[in-house]
Amino acid sequence: SSHHPSVRDCRPMTVSPWDIALCVTGTLISCENAIVIAVLFYTPTLRAPMYILIGSLALADTLAGLGLILNFIFTYMLNTEFVTLISVGLLISAFSASVLNILAITVDRYLSLYNALTYHTERAVTFTYVIVALIWLVCVVLGSLPLLGWNCLRDEASCSVCRPVTKNNAVALAVTFLLVFALMMQLYFLICKIALRHAQQIAVQHHFVSISTTKGVSTLSAILCTFAVCWIPFAMYSIVADSSYPIIYTYATVLPATCNSVINPIIYAFRNPDIQKSLWLACCGCIPTNFSLRPRTSSDV
């Protein structure tokens, strides 16, 4: 069926299974990321630039999850133009912040390898807070555009695959996303180069190749592939399609994009040994014995 969510108020009892799936995903995203925020908030030792960025990413994803839940409630119970613009604005802000925070984490990883000696200073922390503030400022502005009149409610023909965002705005967001992705690929390529160079230097000194470096490089490729698989279908679809296309294609490309926010806390937070330690302490008041034996290395990416 090619009807739009806004038309559903005629038949309030038919709930699309796609909308239910998005709402369930939103609930999962909110719960997962709220745990990350709580752990970071209650662990005063986790205040390095990396943790500030992981916290900011978790906040963006939590808001994205709440946005999906609100979108469901508004679509089926409170379908007015104003709330539609509010929920779409929240989703644009949150998902933009999620993508930009992932870019910031990538830049942080590159800088911490590139300037390994000078990077972990007070200045780096201040710099990180400034970057996070800028990211959120940009995203709030992007999210408020539909509310300020950049929407297609008056001209249905100019709608994108995500009503009420105009086709031009959707294309601008999608192209920006593809540029961000290209920059991330470039940074990950440089990170791999530096990590492999470090590994070669160690290998020359100790006559062996560090397994952790190979593991680090494969982790990076997995992170990049996950990000690409989740977001690129929706970005490409937003560029080629418009509101006349069947809505099922929009749902089929939006759902994987939202799943990226389910995967983010697993990739960036729960894999981190220090966050794992805090989680163990919070849940059972103890730390497993094998934890203290694992030294951190520069390639723990």
What DSSP assignment string belongs to 100-127? HHHHHHHHHHHHHHHTTTTSSSHHHHHH
**How many whole angstroms separate alpha carbon 268 and alpha carbon 176?**
23
The residue to which tokens 């908030």 are assigned:
41
What torsion do the CA atoms of 247, 250, 252, 255 make, to the nearest 10 degrees? -130
At residue 297, the pLDDT reads: 44
At residue 226, the pLDDT reads: 95
Angle at 41 between CA 184 and CA 291, to 5 degrees: 75
What torsion do the CA atoms of 264, 266, 272, 273 make, to the nearest 10 degrees? 170
**How many whole angstroms separate alpha carbon 275 and alpha carbon 254?**
30
Cβ count near 288 (within 10 Å): 11
At residue 299, the pLDDT reads: 41
What DSSP assignment string belongs to 37-69? HHHHHT-TT--SHHHHHHHHHHHHHHHHHHHHH
Q: What is the DSSP letter of 150?
A: -
At residue 112, the pLDDT reads: 86
**How many whole angstroms separate alpha carbon 260 and alpha carbon 70?**
19
How would you write the pLDDT of the chain (301 residues) with one tens digit per residue? 444 554 444 545 689 999 999 999 999 999 999 999 999 999 988 889 999 999 999 999 999 999 999 999 998 998 888 999 999 999 999 999 999 999 999 999 898 888 877 777 788 899 999 999 999 999 999 999 999 989 998 888 899 999 899 999 999 999 999 999 999 999 999 998 988 888 788 778 776 666 667 777 788 888 999 999 999 999 999 999 999 999 999 999 999 999 999 999 999 999 999 999 999 888 887 777 666 544 444 445 5
CA atoms within 13 A on the CB side of 224: 21
At residue 211, the pLDDT reads: 67
**How many whole angstroms separate alpha carbon 63 and alpha carbon 89?**
11
The helix (H) or strand (E) run that includes residue 29 is helix 17-41
**How many whole angstroms separate alpha carbon 46 and alpha carbon 108?**
15
Beta bridge partners of 54: none
Angle at 105 between CA 260 and CA 71, to 5 degrees: 35
**How many whole angstroms separate alpha carbon 59 and alpha carbon 220?**
23
Describe the chain by its helix, strand, coil percentages, rounded to 5. Answer: 75, 0, 25
**How many whole angstroms separate alpha carbon 30 and alpha carbon 27?**
5
Q: Model's pTM, two decimal places?
A: 0.89
